[in-house]
Chains A and B, each alone.
Chain A
């Protein structure tokens, strides 16, 4: 046990090593190597004890005194990782990685360094073209270090980069290569999941389902296998079985009049239902039948957005509330928000009933508009784009990541009668979109669309015996549909 305070340890270590440092300057390289190893191990020990400053100083000393050692690139990599994982300052990691790339490209650690550099560059990207540098780093890993354990990680990221550029075929090749070449790699389950989703985007639903099943068979205990289970369930239910909707009544377990004017629904990343109760001015998470408040209080919320970080964003006339942060981010005066979604680049797409365009807010707060008809509802799509409903044009538009319409579905297509309004849209992350409609000969009802815009399931509320005022809906992970009835203060599940 040491009684020396942490601030004393680094100088003490350096003091102890001083004779070696002095000797190292004049003696043979073999002794340099010894010194480098001792410094590196000393840093490792300090780091394991969470004495980060001591560790960083020691590794810095190593880089300064024995830069030619085989331990120098290891130290650089550790320093970079520390900045990313502990300090959460990726920009501070870049100088280390740049140095690694410039001076130690032959070292085995350079593979991990290049991969990390690529990951950081990909995170900085705000549009597809920004991925170019990141992809170059991933390709360098593959070309220069084909046997490195970093290869599966590089391929996975390369696949994602291709996918984010809309190059699904190329993405699929990379994902497949991950688990074909290294089935035991840590990245293999994730690559299988992403390959399956890419197959679906490419229109190969059977291939997608088989791949998800393979994932469940090969890595049954992985988080991806749990993901695969619900993805299989919703696809089979909505796209293959397509049973008529059946009203299961008040949900969960027949609870009625237990809410205070619920108006909005969304699904959290782990599958829990999120709902906003207008009379309580607050959002809640429904977890095992219990309501748990989420985020700060907010009045008049018009849209819920679930970012990848897992918290909840609330959009209202007043602005945007992000997670636990009570500070309101202004939304450029949008007063009639009808829907919102986050894209792959972290930009927030907002639909406003009074704006004949979509407004996109980038993560740095800047906004731009994307030409579009006035959108009465909006939801995200797994392809990276969004779906909007334009009542004025009586069309549902599947937009790609650039806002260009890829599929247009006229209101009433594939239905016995047409409707006039879309009240809300919801997507399940597996390609299905639920649409809450009203008006016209169809009247109040719901329908589920496939990724190609085809109507998979539909029903009118009249046929289901629903009389309330349904304002929002969500697709759950069992292939069911949850409706939010603000008049009767309850939730209804359709199966």
Chain B
């Protein structure tokens, strides 16, 4: 059955609403998550979330994010990979006051493909880190936040 995008989006909304109710309340977060999300330095955020600061730069991490943000307040970003054994996908914005921006737990058997919108306070490197089979793989890209204007 062919399904139009609009119809699909409507279904998604219903789906996401259902998902939201499954999320654990923030108060129940374990200390590591709180420490990671509240860290003001990238290194601390990495350490608290992933237990390490070293990652392997990998083209298997497909990070899609604009090079110049059309709106720094809501920058669309998606991360996917065909690697096996993915446990989590996390996003770091180096120059944000709190670099860890999002972390997705990927249950076994789930397609590793997430997308969200992130806020950038200023031009920054955005890094996606994928934890797979206990190892950390990453891909980074500069995202510019500009005052704009003056285009040819």
Same assembly: no
Query: Taking beta carbons and an 8 Å cutoff, which residues of B are in contact with A?
Result: none
Which residues of A does B touch, CB under 8 Å? Answer: none
